Amino acid sequence: MILAEAVTRLAYDPGVTPAEGGLPGLSVLKQVVSSINLFGIVATVGALAVAGVVWAWGHHTGSHGAESKGKQGVLAAGGVALLLGAANGLVAFFSTLGTQVK
């Protein structure tokens, strides 16, 4: 009997869905998150510039370690830029995918 109750509770649909306007301050929160995203993108541009300089400096001085670290920095900055730029799309995709789970 206890196992049947546990299974029934797992299958229970609470009926909760995301809705705008439920709490005050949503527009402020969206502005804050957008500003953080913009700050991250600007910081990524700076990191890309520094990594590019390190890569070039390592190449021209024959420092293979610096060249390698510069390449890694450029790739990391590119990946971060990709994630920051695609953040809205990724969250929307997985949120939509999550609504299809039954």
Q: Tell me which DSSP letter residue 23 carries.
A: S
pTM exceeds 0.85, yes or no = no
Q: What is the pLDDT along the chain (102 residues), one digit of tens a residue?
A: 577 776 666 666 667 777 787 788 888 999 999 999 999 999 999 999 999 999 999 999 999 999 999 999 999 999 999 999 999 999 999 988 988 887
Query: What CA–CA distance (Å, rounded) separates 6 from 4?
Result: 5
Show me where the domains of the chain are located. Answer: 26-99
CB 77 within 8 A of CB 48: yes
CB 102 within 8 A of CB 62: no
Per-residue model confidence (pLDDT) at position 15: 72
